[in-house]
Structures are given as C-alpha cells and as structure tokens.
Amino acid sequence: MTDALAEGLAVTLFHRGRTGAGLFPGVPRRTGDRDTGDYAALAEGAWDAVVDVSGYVPRHVGQAMDALGDRVGRYLFVSSHAVYAREGVGPGSDETTPRRAPVRHTEDLDDTTYGPLKVACEDDVLARYGDRAAIVRPGKVAGPHDPQDTFTYWVRRAARGGRVALPGRPEQPTQVVDSRDLARLVVRLVVGGRSGAFNAVGPAEPTTLGELVTTCARVAGSQADEEKLLTSRPA
C-alpha cells in the first residue's frame, strides 16, 4: 500500500474491516467478505488493475472475478512457490518449472492441498484475463509485523547466540523475501502493465540456512558461528 501510494496510484481497499481498519485513513474502502461471497460493495466502479492477495481457493477467486468482470484492466494474483512440483524444484528453477496438479474438490487448506489449490486459482485467472493477467509466486515472506512464528523464530533464536539446532543441514540453500520487496515488485508489475508469471524470492545473493542464522546473530550483536551450528538430523 505504501509503495502504491508513493507511486501516485489511486488505491481502493476491499476487506472485511475487522482488522487494520484504522490504517491508511485517506484510502477509500469497500467492505465485504470472501468467505460468505459478499462482493456487493464491488458492484459499481472501475479500476485499471486489481491485486488479489487473499485468494486461496478457486471459489474465492472466481467470485471476485465475476463481481469485477471487465471493469478491471488487469488482474494480478499473488500465488505461492508451493505451486511447483517438489521433484522439479532445485537450483536453476524458474517460472517454467512444472507445477503440481490443480485441486478443486476441497477447500481444506493443508500441506498437501495448499499448492494445488493455488494452481487451480492461477489457471482460472489466466483463463479469464489471459494476457491481462499476472501471477506472482513468492517464496517465504517475512517482514515487519509478521504474525507467524516460522522465519521470525530463527531471528529471535539467533539473537540469543550459542549453539543452534537447525531443521536441516547448514549448507541447505535458503530463500526468503522481504514483504516490502514483494510489495515493490507488485507495484512495478502493475505500473508496467506486465503479464505472465514471476517468482518472488531472495536474497539476490544465494545464501544457506547456516549463513542466514549467523547473519541474524551478527546483526543482533550475538554470535552463532557456523561451526557451532548443530543439525537435527544425523550427518
């Protein structure tokens, strides 16, 4: 949002109004609920582009597209790196890496369905908007106000220093993208009218799990050298 406003874009928010209602007080809002299919607030108006950041199942995405129709110029859908088939992902993978088979028979989100449901959402967006569609596939996203305890756990643990038990080998490649960098990418794609699929991963320079932890420790002023790192699996 901050980047979009800084770019001079006229932004409208569509959300339930239950959290963050006081943020960006000068931005117009439309109130609805994807869970109940309440898109009445979008019945009027037209926009150059829509950025869909909360589509997890095809029903949600389909209903949003039905509500907006051709009153939007472009449709940018924030997907996930989980769409890729696990056996095809590795160094050198790009946006052409084979995806997993789409799933449409369930809306239960878990480790086995999350990626395939996102694949189905991607397919529906591309089928509806074609070259007016853009797909962004982030890796692990972290940043300010992150409510999850996945990446931030390692930041806090590394800050304590000492011997750190890792969930994998220290030399395991690791990718994480800052939420602010992801936002900048989305705004650039919208402003540039870009189409297609785009991976959103980082950092620019490859790093490993061990290097990530030692970097967090160094920034925090503690010490967790790689030779002190322990792996939770036998060598």
Domain boundary assignment for the chain: 2-145+176-204
Reported for 20-28, long-range contacts at CB under 8 A and 24+ positions apart, including other chains, are: 27/1
Q: Which of 132, 133, 131, 151 is nearest to 142 (CA)?
A: 151
Beta-carbon contacts of residue 41 (< 8 Å; ≥ 6 apart): 14, 30, 31, 32
Q: Mind listing the pLDDT tens digit for each residue in 23-65? A: 899 999 999 999 999 999 999 999 999 999 999 999 999 999 9
3-state helix, strand, coil in the chain (%, to 5): 35, 20, 45
Q: What CATH architecture does domain 2-145+176-204 belong to? A: 3-Layer(aba) Sandwich (3.40)
Residue type, 54: S
Mean pLDDT, range 206-232, rounded to an integer:
77
Model pTM score: 0.89
